[in-house]
Structure 1
Amino acid sequence: MSNSFNRLAVYCGSATPADPRYMQLARDVGQTLAKRGIGVVYGGGKAGLMGAVASGALDAGGEVIGVIPQALKDMEVANLDCTELYVVANMHERKQMFTDMSDGFVTLPGGVGTMDELWEAVSWAQLGYHQSPVGLLNSFGYYDGLLAFNREMAETGFIREMHRDILIVGDTLEGLLEKMAEYQPIQTIVQMRAEDL
């Protein structure tokens, strides 16, 4: 049985790399999601890959919901073109809204903030705070090193066997969405007995 997505949280960088492939990728992702009728929930900014995802989706007639902390809105980096823009107090509230408003997560290339969002989504799935698929778009091999580290954590025993497949990886959006649609929720930590941890 496959999942259908009404909205996906899209995590990506607010920077604009020198390599133009990254901005084009972000724009293409937004456009593709919109054409599939999938709404975008994202960080609400207008800069970098974040802005490119939003503009790609909006230009294709898609729904774009931004969630931005007040401090970043005060810096005038908010994307006022969003279908809806929510201003929250802090990053914790922002990530909770991403989880509450989405059917899954797609992570594009990004930096520290993107990693924070990705690993929280994985951690919350592992714990049982959500049952949504967590996707990683490994375009241009950007996340090869991260995936090697993820394997190292699993092989060392810091990721349990039943949790190894929480992180769903694809090098194209189409392939990644297909894998995410087939995701089956795992046995979560809160469902386990203390002696099995």
Structure 2
Amino acid sequence: MPTVRLSGTILGADDPARSTRAKLLYLLYEAGWDIYNSNGDQRITLANIEEKIIESDAFVFTPGATLEDMFKAISVFVGYQTLDRFLTGKPTIILNCDQSWNPFYKLLRHLEAMETIKQDHSEFMLNAETPKDVIRLLDRARERGTPDAEREKVCSATIPATGSPPPADSRGNVCVFCSATLEDPAYIADGEALGRQLAENRLGCVSGAGRSGIMGAVVRGSVQAGGWTAGSNVPHIIELEGLPDGLSQFWLREDIYTRMEVMIHHSNAFVIFPGGAGTVQELFTLMIFKQQGHPIMKDKPIVIFNRRDPKGDGFWDPLIALLDELCETDNYQVADSLDDIIPAVTRNLIPS
């Protein structure tokens, strides 16, 4: 019997999503699905999310979208993008009858327009308006399979032998979450400039250790300025993106969740540069930890670089609007210019 994993939590008898979830459960059982998290009481963490993905055959996200629900949905989408073998043939449906997922969709459409997401998210995360639509879409998706992300491997997963600790005069490590696909020269120049600024301010540069896009540029800028750089990656993503030259330290992990965890653990502050679905996933992780009061994020500032275009529009405007509705705004800062990033980081930096 195939197993579907539900998201969402019912908040008591008066929760407006209660009847919708009850109808959905009935239809899923009637259609022959076994159900994980039918009561909405299971917690997903970085430590167990990969296990939950492996044991499931499909994913359904329910009304009343929370930040944690959006984190799970974007995580599955990132898995599709990076050719995670554990997601092959496993469909994702979002039941959006209350329109609570609209800000999430708006953000993804914006990132597609900015070309940091190359895939059409609506082909990977199918939108349903009613519980009956969920069953219909699950049946159709299981017949057709999951879409092709149209990515090819560029290299083998050769792991560098690195292990140099940060220098004695280091002021701390700054983790930069950003796009590994965007190749616009202006964004690449900004990435290299940030890497240089980190090195010049005796700040270590931690990244997802991708060779391409802004991610590669940040590492390159730091290395060329004599900075300490570290990163973490997983074998199947290394094969898609390669590894940058000059890493001082590298942490190999088997999945993207423990990859994030080691990067967060070794960082004292975070900069959210222009990026795609992976960057959104990483920021959602930080914000959830902040809201939970998790010790891994204690006294660690988050700076969102909302790079302005010639019209004055910010790259992360839709993301910031979403966070304003779901998060405590004092958990992050926004920098509108490149020169504002380092001051914003160092103003609240507490070295480990």
Give 2:264's match in structure 1, choosing from 57, 76, 99. 99
Q: Which residue pairs with 1:149 in the alignment? A: 322
Q: Which residue pairs with 1:79 in the alignment? A: 244
Q: Which residue pairs with 1:114 in the alignment? A: 279
Structure 1 residue runs of 4+, over 4 Å off? Answer: none
Match of 1:146, as an amino acid? Answer: L
Alpha-carbon distance change, 42 to 134 in structure 1, aligned in 2, over 3 angstroms: same
Q: Which residue pairs with 1:134 in the alignment? A: 302
Q: Which stretch of the first structure deviates more once superposed, 175-184 or 67-76? A: 175-184
Q: TM-score, normalised by structure 1?
A: 0.80
Do residues 38 (structure 1) and 203 (structure 2) align?
A: yes
Higher relative CO (CA 8 A, sep ≥ 6), structure 1 or 2?
A: 1
Alpha-carbon distance change, 11 to 74 in structure 1, aligned in 2, over 3 angstroms: same
Q: Which residue pairs with 2:193 in the alignment? A: 28
- Tell me, yes or no, if the aligned pair for 1:5 and 1:103 is still in contact at 8 Å: no
Alpha-carbon distance change, 5 to 116 in structure 1, aligned in 2, over 3 angstroms: farther
Alpha-carbon distance change, 60 to 96 in structure 1, aligned in 2, over 3 angstroms: same
Structure showing greater Rg: 2
Q: Considering only aligned residues, what root-mean-square deviation do their CA atoms show, in Å?
A: 2.1
Match of 1:46, as an amino acid? Answer: R
- State how 1:182-193 maps to structure 2 within 5 Å: 182-183=347-348
Alpha-carbon distance change, 182 to 62 in structure 1, aligned in 2, over 3 angstroms: closer
Unmatched 5+ residue regions in structure 2?
Answer: 1-169, 309-313
CA distance, structure 2, for counterparts of residue 74 and residue 55 of structure 1: 19
1:54-97 per-residue CA deviation (whole Å, 9 max, x = no partner) reads 00000000011011112223446122421112211111111111
Match of 1:150, as an amino acid? Answer: L
CA shift for structure 1 position 30: 0.5
- Tell me, yes or no, if the aligned pair for 2:220 and 2:244 is still in contact at 8 Å: no
CA shift for structure 1 position 22: 0.8
State the secondary structure of the residue aligned to 1:82.
coil
CA distance, structure 1, for counterparts of residue 292 and residue 346 of structure 2: 21
1:37-58 per-residue CA deviation (whole Å, 9 max, x = no partner) reads 1000100110111100000000
CA distance, structure 1, for counterparts of residue 267 and residue 346 of structure 2: 14
Q: Which residue pairs with 1:13 in the alignment? A: 179
Give 2:220's match in structure 1, choosing from 42, 55, 59. 55
- Tell me, yes or no, if the aligned pair for 2:190 and 2:338 is still in contact at 8 Å: no
Alpha-carbon distance change, 75 to 112 in structure 1, aligned in 2, over 3 angstroms: closer
- Tell me, yes or no, if the aligned pair for 1:168 and 1:176 is still in contact at 8 Å: no
Q: Which residue pairs with 1:70 in the alignment? A: 235
CA distance, structure 1, for counterparts of residue 321 and residue 241 of structure 2: 38
Match of 2:233, as an amino acid? Answer: I
- Tell me, yes or no, if the aligned pair for 2:211 and 2:241 is still in contact at 8 Å: no
- Tell me, yes or no, if the aligned pair for 2:209 and 2:244 is still in contact at 8 Å: yes
CA distance, structure 1, for counterparts of residue 187 and residue 286 of structure 2: 22
Q: TM-score, normalised by structure 2?
A: 0.46
CA distance, structure 1, for counterparts of residue 238 and residue 322 of structure 2: 34
CA distance, structure 2, for counterparts of residue 107 and residue 81 of structure 1: 22
CA distance, structure 2, for counterparts of residue 107 and residue 8 of structure 1: 10
Unmatched 5+ residue regions in structure 1?
Answer: 185-197
Q: Which residue pairs with 1:190 in the alignment? A: none
State the secondary structure of the residue aligned to 2:243.
coil
